[in-house]
Amino acid sequence: MLLSHAFVPTLKETPSEAQIASHRLMLRAGLVRQTSAGIYAWLPMGLRVLRHIEQIVREEQDAIGAQELLMPTIQPAELWRESGRYDDYGKEMLRITDRHDREMLFGPTNEEMITDLMRQGAKSYRDLPQVLYHIQWKFRDEVRPRFGVMRGREFLMKDAYSFDIDYAGAVRSYRQMMLAYMRTFQRMGLKAIPMVADTGPIGGDLSHEFIILAPTGESQVYYDASFEEIDYQGGGCSHKSDEDLQRFYDLMTSQYATTDEKHNLINWEKIPADRRREGRGIEVGHIFYFGTKYSKAMGLAVAGHDGKQLIPEMGSYGIGISRLVGAIIEASHDAAGIIWPDAVAPYKASILNLRVGDAACGKICDTLYTALRGQAVYDDRDARAGEKFADADLMGLPWQIIVGPRGAANGVVELKRRVTGERLELSVDAALIRIG
């Protein structure tokens, strides 16, 4: 992307409405613009991040055999009347009337709709288990939207739904999903901790929140540092093996991890002091098992082995995709700007031409830009070096390739790693290899 032609409206000053770091930086780096309270337009740079996060989530969902579909944003009120939630949901639900006076709503979640689809399609135990997910915009008319994209009214969410013929199957689906979540967050460069969540009226222990750590998080959390050392991607952690799943689940649930409401000093102090971690956390995902709540209410039943009808056991599993963009920035920024983890960065590198018009600089930049094929932002603007440095740090791409007249004459560029600030003088080829 040529910065001279790109719509990346960076701001030197912070709009007054933005209070927290991620919100300020998203506005300043030209990622989003607010259009109403809690509703944002995603500008080109921000959209790329959103897409990258979405893609990692998609790949990890697919990897455990979940199937993607896409349900509409607008839903008929009748479905929600069937589950009883039309009246229960309250003012958070955005209700809409169409021209025929039909009652509609902008979906805050999709349990009813997916249950409806499943009852149309699944007739026998042979049709189960099924895990379906979609990545779709949701709307919850929060009383008080805040923190930019982290607490918006309109938000992009991955929500998955599992259907199993019995409790054991539901538990298996639940654990597979938990594994997928840990892999997902790890791939994004995040430290995510699963914590037992309140299950509400359903009870049981099958509900976990996934919290990532950031200084400005909404709640205080405590956990055992050993969470940070686990590799979820490797072998011995297959979602297909019940033994692996059991071992994984035991590992997740045996270590201390809790929010301050459930913090227990006695158990906390059993952990060796050097492994105690505490900090602020942001919830980025939530999974829970809810049994037959919707299947029963909405008449989803399939024929069992014995020919009798059985009511499938369900679970649902959310990841706040748009929230993650803000959450990642909360967890990864400094005074100068965003520090994107490689996996979700909008581009790999910024190429800074410090002397536009200089033949040697131009030639090297062109070479770099071509070699990086769509993975770089080329700052070819006719602007001062200082402005380019400031914007590059603000945008936070993992690498900066600084091309100035001094080095260019000798075929040398400077490679800066955003996260460490470390700089190296290298040949063009060596820099490209380094970036990978």
Partner RNA sequence: CGGGGCGUGGCGCAGUCUGGUUAGCGCGCGUGUUUUGGGUACACGAGGCCGCCGGUUCGAAUCCGGCCGCCCCGACCA
Question: Binding segment for RNA among 61-69, 183-191, 369-377, 399-407 (CB under 7 A)?
Answer: 399-407
Distance CA 378, CA 380 (A): 6
Closest by alpha carbon to 426, among 403, 397, 392, 405? 403
Closest by alpha carbon to 149, among 330, 299, 349? 330
Q: Does 100 bind RNA (CB under 7 A)?
A: no
Closest by alpha carbon to 310, among 168, 128, 165? 165
Residue 389 sits at φ, ψ, to 5 deg, of -60, -45
Distance CA 426, CA 208 (A): 47
Burial environment of residue 412 by CB neighbours within 10 A (0 to 12, 13 to 18, 19 or more) = middle
Question: Binding segment for RNA among 13-21, 41-49, 73-81, 173-181 (CB under 7 A)?
Answer: 13-21
Distance CA 130, CA 105 (A): 26
Within 333-392, which residues bind RNA (CB under 7 A)? Answer: 336, 354-355, 383-387, 389-392
User: What sign has the CA pseudo-torsion 322, 323, 324, 326?
Assistant: positive
Q: Does 217 bind RNA (CB under 7 A)?
A: no
Q: Does 215 bind RNA (CB under 7 A)?
A: no
Within 151-180, which residues bind RNA (CB under 7 A)? Answer: 151-153, 155, 157
Question: Binding segment for RNA among 50-58, 170-178, 269-277, 314-322 (CB under 7 A)?
Answer: 314-322
Distance CA 208, CA 315 (A): 12
Interface mask toward RNA for 40-79; x: CB under 7 A: ----------------------------------------
Q: How far is the CB of 271 from RNA (least distance, A)?
A: 26
Exactly one of 7, 16, 87, 235 binds RNA (CB under 7 A); which one?
Answer: 16
Q: Does 416 bind RNA (CB under 7 A)?
A: yes
Decide whether 54 or 237 has the Cβ nearer to RNA.
54
b/e sequence 372-391, b meaning 16+ C-beta within 10 Å? beebbbbbbbebeeeebbeb
Q: Does 146 bind RNA (CB under 7 A)?
A: yes
Q: How far is the CB of 87 from RNA (least distance, A)?
A: 16
Q: Does 141 bind RNA (CB under 7 A)?
A: no
**Total residues at the site for RNA (CB under 7 A)?**
62
Q: Does 13 bind RNA (CB under 7 A)?
A: yes
Decide whether 136 or 226 has the Cβ nearer to RNA.
136
b/e sequence 163-200, b meaning 16+ C-beta within 10 Å? bbbeeebbbbbbbbbbbbbbbbbbbbbbbbbbbbbeee
354's tokens: 């410090």
Question: Binding segment for RNA among 32-40, 234-242, 243-251, 290-298 (CB under 7 A)?
Answer: 32-40
Q: How far is the CB of 181 from RNA (least distance, A)?
A: 11
Q: Does 239 bind RNA (CB under 7 A)?
A: no
Q: Does 94 bind RNA (CB under 7 A)?
A: no
Closest by alpha carbon to 178, among 315, 282, 343, 342? 315
Find out whether 352 and 379 touch, Cβ atoms under 8 Å.
Answer: yes
Summarize as ranges the residues that interact with RNA (CB under 7 A). Answer: 10-17, 19-20, 34, 36-38, 91, 140, 142-147, 150-153, 155, 157, 209, 218, 283-286, 318-320, 322-323, 336, 354-355, 383-387, 389-394, 402-407, 414, 416, 423
